[in-house]
Amino acid sequence: MNRELQQLILDYKTDQESVYHTWFLNNSDRLKAFRTIKTGVNDVIKAIEARFFGNDFKGSPLEDVLAAICEQKQVFEGAAHAFYWKPKLRIPDIYENEENQLAFGRFLKAVLQASDEKQLLTEIVKLDQYHIKGLGPAVANILYFLHPTLFPPFNTAIVNGFNSLLDRKIKLGSWPAYLEMRETLMDINTAYRSSLSKDLGAISGLLFEIGTGRLIVSGNAEAFLQEEEKKREKGRYKRHLEVLNDTNEESEHSEMQLYLARLGRSFGYNVWIAQNDHQRQWQDEPLGRYSLSVFPAMDLPKSIADTIAFIDVLWLNEHNEIVSGFEVEKSTSIYSGILRLHDLSLSVGNATSRLYLICPDKREKEVRAQLLRPSLQQTQCGPISYIRFSDLRNDCNAMCKYGKSVEALDAISNICTC
């Protein structure tokens, strides 16, 4: 088993199309997701406590949380399905049963604030004692983003991978089954941490690849090869296309950041490009060339300054005051970008700073729909405008030549109002 597992881990880590590379090591999107989801969970808690959570998944703040989780692609694909309100089955019963809803809210609040493993496990046991119909360990996908070193994600593929690897019969759907799997998984992760990570996302991704058939184990190889070959080939082709699309999206993302950086410099602003993007290139031109090398000192708590440093592009005046903030969207959730811009506006408290989403043309309707949501229209921060990729691409050179300040963006930006 030890030798087989070591080889599986090696295969997992060397496969450039495995989720280890396409998701776990994709630090930019992963790091942003943790803060987005924590903020979203806090919104769910507030809505439940204020009794305006709603009686459906659609339109609830929980939908925003699961959207941010599902955008993490393969491992979390379909994570929202367990939370859809199914009226005929009356599940999950947190929408029409107020007592269950309040219990769910108390659980989320407790696990959001707790850090002690024993306390967190106690809260899971307390929630399970309510026997809330349809609300099972799918909640572990939320727990993972709150406590990634203590709770692994949980879905059919991960469970299948766990059972195949260890010849077990854990079943999906109960907290005791999840906790049993978690305990074993943490023991294995401790033994192989030098090859994996303290973050349980790495070993969960390994099980996911076994469960989906990208990695074959001796215990199920013969039957699996006979029954799943076509499915596996289809999965490989799909993953290959996803990797190609990701590569194209990363290229477009870098292209838009470079245009924004060139524009900001031409208007006389200092430009900051997200710290983790300084080494990225577009057409052999490094983005860091246009950016300040060090994030400027601001009178802000370090945690907030660190978060702002991940905004895709910032324009700053000579006093290091933020003139504009830009989030370039791709396949990630529009909600996540909006939330980061809201955090920026509320953190710096500069009413004159302008906020922009830079979006692919094909996502314009989705952007407009998100920006027109009542909860976003009633916030205290400044309005968020959006600019399409094609407009920025086509008009960048002209604005660099004739524009004088951020006001030049008025010609290509759009704002949504009720």
Give residue-wise pLDDT tens across range 26-73: 767 788 889 889 999 999 999 999 999 989 999 899 999 999 999 887
Model confidence pLDDT, tens digit, residues 361-403: 988 888 888 888 766 555 566 688 999 999 999 999 999 999 9
Nearest of 334, 261, 347, 263 to residue 300 by alpha carbon: 347
CA 205 – CA 27 distance, rounded (Å): 15
pLDDT at 349: 67
The per-residue pLDDT for 377 is 58
Q: Is the pLDDT of residue 352 over 60?
A: yes
Distances (CA, A) of 222 to 62, 132, 174, 226, 237: 42, 40, 30, 6, 22
pLDDT (0 to 100) of residue 52 = 92
State the chain's mean pLDDT as an integer.
88
> In the structure, what pLDDT confidence band is assigned to residue 304 with cuts at 50, 70 and 90?
confident
**What string of H, E and C letters represents the secondary structure of 226-259?**
HHHHHHHHHHHHHHHHHHHHHHHHHHHHHHHHHH
User: Is 263's pLDDT higher than 90?
Assistant: yes
**pLDDT at position 222 over 70:** no
CA distance 285 to 262: 12
pTM given for the model: 0.68
